[in-house]
Amino acid sequence: MITAHRLLPATLLLAVLFLVAGCADRDGAPLPAETDEPLYVQGKQLQKQGRNAEALNAFLKVIDRRGENPSPESHLEAGLIYLNHSKDPLAACYHFRRYLKAHPNSKQTPYVLGMVEAAKREFARTLPGRPLEDQSVRMAVDEEVGKLRRENEELRAEVAVLRGGGAMPVSRLPRMITLPPEVIAPAPVSPPPVAAVLGAQKRPEATATEAGRDADRPAAPMVQRGTPAAGAATRGSTAAPKAAAGRTHTVAPKDTLYGIARRYNVKVEAIVAANPGAVPRVNAPLKVGTVLKIP
């Protein structure tokens, strides 16, 4: 009895020691590397197959299983899926920051920082005021939109006028058709000199007076029958050149030698011959304000 009584405490002590040792071995067993976790490997395979929702679930399980142990690679993969596929920028930011906390100086740190900024911009786009958008860009876009709206309203008004049979607004005509300056503004016709007009008005009276004088002359000078007729023909032939020689033209802007010749129904060579100082040759340029004799 005494021996059994002594063995019982010893047995209990050994049992307690084995239990404590087993618990210590189980709690102190090192976890495998994160990238060797079966769920992590499964998540990468699901990603390659395009099954992003299932891959995200696998990575989140890795994070939950490892608990306080760092799992930066799973956080990084989960953040990328949240940003690019689930369109949840806030969750993506959380996982990216957990990666940066575990690896603040890794080679991928600049890349992950860029992903954080991208997630912030993506979240800002969901806000009604778009606070991160550049103010100058917004003003330029608003101005362009306003301009397009105004032009659209003007075009609608023009279509309404045309459908109603009205005339096109004058302010919009240059946008529809553009004519050369020669067609829009024809060359001005300079009036003949006052002396030429007065001379032309007086010539009929002078002719009638001369005819009356010839009729009043005595018959004695008519002895030379051929002479008066020749004299009359000479006077007639002289009067015509005087009438033609009295015409002049002041060169206006856009005048050409050929246009002046057509206007007065004369040849270009005749105008050149009558104005050797002003027009030395047929193709010579005309100077505005020059007075040309019209033969």
pLDDT in tens, 66-105: 988 889 999 999 999 999 998 999 999 999 999 999 888 9
Return the minimum-mean-pLDDT range out of 52-61, 125-134, 190-199. Answer: 190-199
Which architecture does CATH list for 188-198+244-295? Answer: Roll (3.10)
pLDDT band at 203 (very low <50, low <70, confident <90, very high): low
- Closest alpha carbon to 264 in 237, 282, 246: 246
Provide the whole-model pTM.
0.38
Residues of the chain with CATH 1.25.40.10: 34-125
The neighbouring-strand residues paired with 294 are 247
Please give the CATH topology (third level) of the domain spanning 34-125: 1.25.40
Q: Which residue has the higher pLDDT, 161 or 79?
A: 79
Element (H, E) at 248: strand 247-250
pLDDT at position 281 is 84
Q: What is the mean pLDDT of residues 278-288?
A: 83
| pLDDT for the residue 153 | 79
Rounded to the nearest integer, the mean pLDDT of the chain is 72
- Using an 8 Å Cβ cutoff, are 254 and 263 in contact? no
- Taking alpha carbons only, the member of 98, 45, 58 closest to residue 76 is 98
CATH 3.10.350.10 boundaries in the chain: 188-198+244-295
Q: Could you tell me which residues are beta bridge partners of residue 250?
A: 291
Q: What's the pLDDT tens digit per position in 7-30?
A: 555 555 555 455 544 443 344 557
Paired with 292 in beta bridges are 249
Of residues 249 and 238, the one with the higher pLDDT is 249
